[in-house]
Structure 1
Amino acid sequence: MKKWLRNFIVIAFISAILQYAWEYWQCGIFYTMNTKAPHSPLMWSATFGDVNMTVILYFLLSFINKDLNWIVKKWESKEYVIMSLYALFLSFYFEVHALHTDRWGYSDAMPMFLNTNIGLIPVIQLLILFPVTFLMSKMILKKFKNADI
């Protein structure tokens, strides 16, 4: 199997599990939804979007590193800086857009990002889950490498 395809599959799978677990955990506590729409389709939609963002970040870092297999190598500070900036930009963008279009709202339990109307939990979600997804994927991919799969 091609390395980039193997990497893509592992990253997408790990991301889907982690992002869905986070969405499931936070949805009922921190968000209010339109009562006409059930939470589940929105959670699946958010999870799908989060997985896409993760995969795009992987390919962005592959382009920057000029190596599709960068994930299994020693990371430099630029990987963490890019992950953090990407997470901040996307989390703010999607939260502002969703709030503006009334896709969802926040419950009183949602802590807010300083001096904004943006919830802190979705920002933390991407800041944590992008690197955790890549670190878990790195561990799994190294096992594949050692097994010559």
Structure 2
Amino acid sequence: MARSLPRIATIFVVAVLFNFPWEVGQMSLYVEEGDLLEFAVHCIVPSLGDGIILLTIFGIGLGVSRRSDWTDKPGTAGYALMLFSGFSIAVIIEWGAVYVIERWTYTNSMPRLPGLEVGLSPILQMIVLPPIIFGVTEWWLNLRLRV
């Protein structure tokens, strides 16, 4: 586990850094009050949550593959796991937040996933960004090893 701590920390930091601009970019799709600075500050917390989601996806892959480096060369099965996990987690969070605890509301501009009526932007976020984040993490860890 101790050998995995640099990987875990790097995944979290990269995930927060990549998810923050996505969160800011999709703010107009949610009902919010305030100015752009308030939106940006508000996006820090969801970005931290996104970091936890990426660690969850990493943990699922770790449990399935029993390898802490499964994201380095994920192959078809690894990418499928990322996509399925990211999609599932995002749908559960969005559906629960919108329809169960009413944590946030979509504007009419938010495209929605037919049938589930959850926002498409946050679903795409957890489909598109995990492979990129894991790839950047691998690059960063390899760069650190060369120095």
For the 8 Å contact 1:16–1:48, the answer to whether it is kept is yes
**C-alpha distance 41-47 of structure 1, shift in aligned 2 (>3 A):** same
Q: What is the match of residue 45 of structure 1?
A: 45
Q: What is the match of residue 83 of structure 2?
A: 84
Deviation at 1:52, TM superposition (A): 0.5
- How far, CA to CA, are the matches of 1:41 and 1:140 in structure 2? 27
* AA of the residue aligned to 1:94: I
Matched length: 142
Deviation at 1:39, TM superposition (A): 4.1
* AA of the residue aligned to 2:137: S
Identity %: 19
For the 8 Å contact 2:30–2:107, the answer to whether it is kept is yes
Superposed CA RMSD? 1.9
Please list every run of 5 or more consecutive structure 1 residues that lacks an aligned counterpart in the other structure: none
* AA of the residue aligned to 1:89: S
- How far, CA to CA, are the matches of 1:42 and 1:103 in structure 2? 13
**C-alpha distance 143-53 of structure 1, shift in aligned 2 (>3 A):** same
Q: Relative contact order, CA 8 A, sep 6+: which one is greater?
A: 1
| TM-score scaled by length of structure 1 | 0.85
For the 8 Å contact 2:18–2:133, the answer to whether it is kept is yes
Please list every run of 5 or more consecutive structure 2 residues that lacks an aligned counterpart in the other structure: none
Deviation at 1:41, TM superposition (A): 5.8
